[in-house]
Structure 1
Amino acid sequence: MTHPERPARGLAVISVSALSTQSGAATGSLAFGTLGPLGVVAARQIVAALVLLVLTRPRVHRLTREQWPPIVLLAVLFASMNSSLYAAVERVGLGTAVTIEFLGPLAVALLSSRRWRDAVCATLALAGIVLLTRPGPSSDLIGLGLAVLASASWAGYIMANRAVGRLVPGVQGTAVAMTLSAVGLLPVAAIIIWQERPPVEAYLFAAAAGLFASAVPYTLDLIVLRRISPVVFGLGMSLHPVFAALIGAVALHQHLPALAWTGIGLVAVSNALTLIGARPPRHVQRRRIALPPRRRRHRRSAGANHPGTG
């Protein structure tokens, strides 16, 4: 069943997803000293897969040939998106990496749009991200390349998650994709644990990151992508660096200059403008006028004569 687009409600879900992601990322960063970025990513995926498997209990044997390709693609994107971003942050810094990564959902928003206002909103959001993160020049081509890979993976994740949401009921597709991703990263986690012998608290931090930065937001993203367009979702993703800045200021006492708060304001304005006048998807509009009034009455009367229908 296809639901009509409700952008305000969709943005609320995106906000919860972004808040959960950044809270989990902040918690997971506490384990960088022993597990390293790649180890935290591996732990995140494994914990998230276990949580989703317990909650959804996907019926893998019932998946069809049509459903498997987007699920496998989503699994690859899960791993590449997180691993490349954390590796880029380690080499070129958080500001540059996050700014480049945001180009992925921004590109989705622009390519999915046919309205000039969405292009303006995307430009405002990008300007806000630049002001918020203030990326500086870097000569680390490998780090910049990893950030671009994270950007492309994020864009692919949006589209693949939307495809999985159409083809697989509930969150079973996300659970299977997360499990495949976790299996692929399991050898990485085993090697790091064997070499580093991290303390117990590192496992706890990584487990919290897996729950709040993977399981919760990925499930929410899958749900909301069934109800809103890629345009609204892509621009809504600009809330991630906003929440990261707010969590840093409140929890980590990282005070931001006025220029950074100006960037936050631009991001908020871009999302608000996206919501104003948003229209339902075309397939919803067509469905509303698909049948003339007489035929609709005929179907209702037919349904009344056959209790097993409707």
Structure 2
Amino acid sequence: MQATPASPPARSFAPFLAIVGSLISVNVGAAYAKGLFPLVGSAGITAVRVGLASIFLMAFWRPWRAPLARPDAINVGIYGVMLGMMNLLIYAAFARIPIGVAIAIEVIGPLAVVVLSSRHLRDFFWVACAACGLWLLAPTSVGAVALDPLGVAAAVGAGFCWAMYIVFGKRVSTLKGGHVVAWGMLVAALCTVPVGISQAGSALFSPQVLAGGLAVALLSSILPYSLEMMALSRLPRRVFGILVSAGPAVGALAGFFVLGEVLSTTQWLAIGMIVVATAGSAATAGKN
């Protein structure tokens, strides 16, 4: 009698490892990018990062060899616009508030995606938990550290873009992942490069900025978005939401180890509550 071959463990864990690798890569890249802001500003670094990433991805995947159907092209276009705006806004937030705090605010976007897809009253508990975390970050709460209002607004905008990135990324995740990321990054570059040039001008093309931008592009764009697209095609949106909920904590650790950003106890508690809310909502959404 022949035994049924078991699925390789590596195949089962690959999507989870992809998300973990994506979180570490994107947050270390973000911390490194923030150290480059004094050279050309947050929009300048965003432009170099996304522009270089789009060139490499287009050259590697050559997605024009498999043209997209019109509905898919529209979804990929929206996915790319959201990707570009998300990068511009979150880097603007990083320039004004700590990385961990910015990501804690931004991750409310994926939380909203999960909760809005649910029909259970229990998910309002997770909303309340996230709201308490945001209240702890607000300057009106006891022990809170004052935050730049523009930085907070940019993080909120990035959260909305992240939510749309997940929605439209899921819609096109059945296509060739590398092709989707390449087209999406090209659209994102068309959104971000003009903004970066308007802020930094010819300084964007200095060897120091290009070298730093290349490192950021690899860490924060090419590797993580490719890994996320692979994971989205194999994981339910609920599980994906659980895994990305660790983003604020990973970001705070990256900010501490790379930039020396020290958060207060209240800020760590707020981040923890938002992480719990995001993971909990993703775990329970859609269950009976």
- Matches of 2:109 and 2:71, distance apart in 1: 26
The 1:202/1:93 distance shift into structure 2, 3 A limit, reads same
The 1:201/1:147 distance shift into structure 2, 3 A limit, reads same
Task: List per-residue Cα deviations over 1:44-80 (Å, max 9, x = no partner).
Answer: 1112112222332213562111211001101111111
Task: List per-residue Cα deviations over 1:219-251 (Å, max 9, x = no partner).
Answer: 111111122222232343221111112223334
Residue from 40, 48, 52 that aligns with 1:47: 52
Instruction: Give the aligned partner of residue 152 of structure 1.
Output: 160
Instruction: Give the aligned partner of residue 182 of structure 2.
Output: 175
Task: List per-residue Cα deviations over 1:169-212 (Å, max 9, x = no partner).
Answer: 23211111111221343334444554546753222221111111
- Matches of 2:268 and 2:149, distance apart in 1: 30
Instruction: Give the aligned partner of residue 73 of structure 1.
Output: 78
Instruction: Give the aligned partner of residue 221 of structure 1.
Output: 228
Task: List per-residue Cα deviations over 1:238-294 (Å, max 9, x = no partner).
Answer: 211111122233344445555555556656766776797999x9xxxxxxxxxxxxx
Alignment of 1:155-304 (within 5 A): 155-166=163-174, 168-192=175-199, 194-196=201-203, 199-259=206-266, 262=269
- Matches of 2:127 and 2:235, distance apart in 1: 17
- Alpha-carbon contact 1:95-1:135 (below 8 Å) kept: no
Match of 1:151, as an amino acid?
G
What TM-score, normalized to structure 2? 0.77
Q: CA deviation at 1:162?
A: 0.7
The 1:89/1:226 distance shift into structure 2, 3 A limit, reads same
- Matches of 1:104 and 1:271, distance apart in 2: 10
Q: CA deviation at 1:125?
A: 6.0
- Matches of 1:265 and 1:91, distance apart in 2: 21
Secondary structure (helix, strand or coil) at the match of 2:74 reads helix
- Matches of 2:82 and 2:28, distance apart in 1: 21
- Matches of 1:51 and 1:223, distance apart in 2: 18
- Alpha-carbon contact 1:14-1:236 (below 8 Å) kept: yes
Q: CA deviation at 1:118?
A: 5.6
Match of 2:233, as an amino acid?
R
Deviates more, 1:72-81 or 1:179-188: 179-188
The 1:177/1:254 distance shift into structure 2, 3 A limit, reads closer
- Matches of 2:204 and 2:226, distance apart in 1: 32
- Matches of 2:61 and 2:220, distance apart in 1: 18
Task: List per-residue Cα deviations over 1:64-104 (Å, max 9, x = no partner).
Answer: 11211001101111111111222244456656643432221
Match of 1:73, as an amino acid?
I
Match of 1:66, as an amino acid?
P
The 1:169/1:24 distance shift into structure 2, 3 A limit, reads same
For structure 1, the 5+ residue unaligned runs are: 1-5, 282-310
- Matches of 1:122 and 1:11, distance apart in 2: 25
- Matches of 1:21 and 1:66, distance apart in 2: 30
The 1:68/1:276 distance shift into structure 2, 3 A limit, reads closer
What TM-score, normalized to structure 1? 0.72
For structure 2, the 5+ residue unaligned runs are: 1-10, 141-145
